[in-house]
Structure 1
Amino acid sequence: MTEIATEAIKEAVLQGHYKPGKRLIPAQLESELNLGRVAIREALRELTGSGLVVSVPNKGAIVAEAVDAEEMREVFEIRYDLEGKACELAATRISEEELSKLERLNVDLAGYQENPREYFLLNRKFHLDFYRASGWDFLCHIIAQLFDRVLVFRSIHPISQDSIPSYVDHHAELLAAARKRDGSRAKEVMTRHLESGYQSFLSILKKNDLRG
């Protein structure tokens, strides 16, 4: 139930229902999400660890502020290394069943061009499901936290609809590399994919004068 509660809170934040600075009161969440108090409390603890939620004295859990330009740069610098390594490993270890599931998931992703917030969550699942094939669970856990840290930003500034087709194409290239067990190629594709995402962030920051 904790995992269900965690995902429900993430989606509520992404959809803008819980905005930055919003107090997350367990009793209210229990009623709004129709989930148990214990699961809600455990979920808030987990989300505090990922940076999506912060604990403030005399206030309790609140939704974190969106990352700024400097933190975003740090997040992507770390992602280049960690996700590159995860791709390199996963491409040589992924099973046929896992590949087939990811190919179907990528087809689904292409259908979310009109709903970029939902795309973000499904895209997160695509990435993490691929990385889990690496067998490095702790690495995948850290990457998941990095995804969650930028979730508040994406609730305010969704992924550009025009970018989604190219991202889906990158995923297809990644899976093609994995079918050939080409870890180096998979890492190269992911680096290019992340660079495209980072440039998108920079464009949003510039457009909204958020560069700091």
Structure 2
Amino acid sequence: MEVIKNKTMMEAAYDTLRKAIVTGHFKPGEQLIETDLIEWLQVSRTPLREALRRLETEKLVVSRPYKGVFVNQISKEYAEQLYQVQSILEGLAARLATQHRTPEFLVELRELTRQAVQRKQIGDYEGMIDKTYAFHQAIWRQSSNEVLLGVLETLQAQIHLLRGTTLLDPDRSEENLYEHEKILDALSAGSCDTAQALMSEHINNAACAAIRIFRQRREQESPKEVVNGQT
């Protein structure tokens, strides 16, 4: 029973930390102090460390010997590469999802879009990010391509981290919701080419927003811990 309890505590700590990172509660490059996290999460050291190791495998945090654990600050160069891959893969997912669309799938996307707009209107940006991410995940699943889904799920932590970063920008969040509506229109109309093109453009627009944010951070902040393109 103790093993089950510890596993549950680890998963709870992991889920809370992961959400805090991808929604910007903990900033890129920020050090995660173990004693503070234990008090905040109300967990013991063992499940906390297990949760941090899991986050490290997803490249959401980085452990530096004799220094501690830091929120991963993805480099501009690595982000550009990730967005290039994401643009191609998600464009393909949108094409395939259009081919395999069902009435239930379209209803799900409409509801997620409605909820995302609602969350933004009340200032719940964390909730909006969750719903926009669920929108993308629904399209991945509807592609009915297990290989594609597997690759996207492998990248999902880093994708979600970047998405959270850009959607905290009010201007980008407004554009993002509009782009989702256009993608949904193309999916509903059964236009594979348009759905693929709009999704790829959507990801490229997110990339431009991310690069703009990276430049602003470089101007405002001193160098911090970085992986995948260290500074």
Task: Please classify the TM superposition score into its range, dividing by the shorter chain length.
Answer: 0.7 to 0.9
Out of 174, 187, 208, the position equivalent to 1:165 is 174
Structure 2 residue aligned with 1:7: 15
Question: What count of residue pairs does the alignment treat as equivalent?
Answer: 206
CA offsets, 1:49-90, max 9 Å, x none? 2210123334564322x2232122112111111211222222
2:152 aligned partner, one-letter code:
C
Out of 197, 211, 214, the position equivalent to 1:202 is 211
Residue 144 in 1 paired to residue 140 in 2? no
Q: Secondary structure at the match of 1:150?
A: helix
Whole-Å separation in 1 of the counterparts to 2:46 and 2:75: 33
Residue 93 in 1 paired to residue 100 in 2? yes
- Contact 2:87 2:201 (C-alpha < 8 Å) held by counterparts: no
CA offsets, 1:121-168, max 9 Å, x none? 3322221222122232312313413314537x82xx753212323211
Q: Please report the RMSD computed on the Cα atoms of aligned residues, expressed in angstroms.
A: 3.1
5+ residue gaps, structure 1, are none
Give the structure-1-normalised TM-score.
0.77
Give the structure-2-normalised TM-score.
0.72
Whole-Å separation in 1 of the counterparts to 2:160 and 2:46: 22
Whole-Å separation in 1 of the counterparts to 2:136 and 2:33: 28
CA 208–48 in structure 1, closer or farther in 2 if over 3 Å, else same = closer
Out of 63, 74, 83, the position equivalent to 2:71 is 63
1:115-194 correspondence to structure 2 within 5 Å = 115-135=124-144, 136=146, 137-150=149-162, 154=165, 159-194=168-203
- Contact 1:6 1:44 (C-alpha < 8 Å) held by counterparts: yes
- Contact 1:116 1:160 (C-alpha < 8 Å) held by counterparts: no
